[in-house]
Structure 1
Amino acid sequence: MDRFETKSFALMPGQRVEAKVVSHHPWGVLVEIAGHEDDGLSASIDMIELFASRTGSHEELLALFPPVGSRVEAVVQRISRWHPPVSVRLSIRAADLEALTWPCDFCGERTTLSPGGDALVLDSRSNNGPGSHTLVVHRQCLATRIHPQNSGERARALKIGEAQAPFV
């Protein structure tokens, strides 16, 4: 991985994607994300994590696995860029497709990553070498952690992602 791998930055938690099922495994399926087939990403759907608590038997769980070669609508649940290859975990649960929530890395309460939600995704990188780390936070949690004298950055944390009025 280059010092700042950039292809995977086009993906972020909460984003809806289309994926093609490549293979089945005991825990779930490997997929290719449409538009990112040649980006060197490892993408998967952990069917046990998503559905095991809602199914009565192993056979019932296996019946939920999408067929190899099929295309599925999914939402990016998390991305690991800590070391190569970049690993992307997807969800196909209907509730997650509607509104993906995830625990805030600051307060631990759930925050909504889907469009219109209250989450921000922070990617941290170092000048010293490769890899990055993604944090999911409430915008309010981030704003309250920015030094009070830096009011411009606090205000931007509360507004980022909102539609801006066109410049006239």
Structure 2
Amino acid sequence: MSKRDRWEQLKSWFSLLNEAGKRFSTPPRHNDLVPRFDAAEADLVPGQRIRVTQQHPWGVMVEIPGHEGISTPALRLRPWRTEDAVALVATHRDPLLRRWLTTSLVSDTEARRWIDDQSEGWATGVRFSFAILECRGKNGDAGRPVGHIAVTATDSSKALATVGYWTSAEVRGRGIAGRALEVVSRWALGSQRIMPLTRLDLLHAVDNHASCRVAGKCRYALRSILPAQPPAFPHEGHLHVRINSDA
């Protein structure tokens, strides 16, 4: 399937998503392209001081503290970089991950093009795309990316967006996706000043039970079941929703 055909399939699912989910009438709070802060700390998650730092010329870095005594490392969420291409391709070789992704990256060229698309999303204010890194050691050094999370606007007002995520095989099952999703959801629906979001939609295949558990833990309510849209979406999908009053 060509990139254009795959995008048409995605638009078809977004159309079904909009019909299935109730529109909320909360007016936009802001619509600035560039965040109004350089660095800030906030209780995005009760009991945790989450540091949010603006990256220049665009992008945001989020630092999530770990938990002492239970071997839970801190996480760093930052924009994807060109040097991440090799690690990105290696991660995409995982058969389970490839099963759920609509696009699998098989070469460094494809990975760099994908990273360029993520950077463009930050620059145009229509997508927050983060590489997820674990910070280990005494100095809290971050290694290579072990996951991805992105918030992508799906309507012209930027009030509605979808959120998607994945983690690499070696860290799967350690709660990284849930920690990242909760913090990004709170930030996206709360203090950020790039998109005037009032609602986040989360879609996954019906048989992706792990993703469904993560969505439920992060207070994304199951709204409806979307019909299959083969070949890009050969199975039915779950639509989960979180609104800004939940942030």
**TM-score, normalised via structure 2 length:** 0.24
- Structure with greater helix percent: 2
**TM-score, normalised via structure 1 length:** 0.31
